[in-house]
Amino acid sequence: MIVTRGNKKADAAEVPELLDVRAVAEIFSCSQRFVIKMADQGVIPRPLKIGRLRRWSRRAIAQWAETQATAGGARS
């Protein structure tokens, strides 16, 4: 799997397991503020909180996105 970030390509092995709000916003093509709002409302997986930092599991975000794609974006 190849992941692109801007003009830079990285192998999957170089992609961190924990994503910050900026990375999640890039994945969903939305603002960082919207990511926080979706997490607070329980729309997307809740982040791990490490002090004041929020980090999402790359696997949890990918699985959630996949279920949304297969469900046609419907929320249960």
pLDDT of the residue at 6: 56
pLDDT-flagged residues of the chain (< 70):
1-15, 73-76
Pairing of strands 18-19, 53-57: antiparallel
The fold adopted by the segment(s) 17-70 is Arc Repressor Mutant, subunit A (1.10.10)
pTM: 0.72
Helix (H, G, I), strand (E, B) or coil at 52: coil
* Extents of the domains making up the chain: 17-70
Contact between 75 and 43 (Cβ < 8 Å):
yes
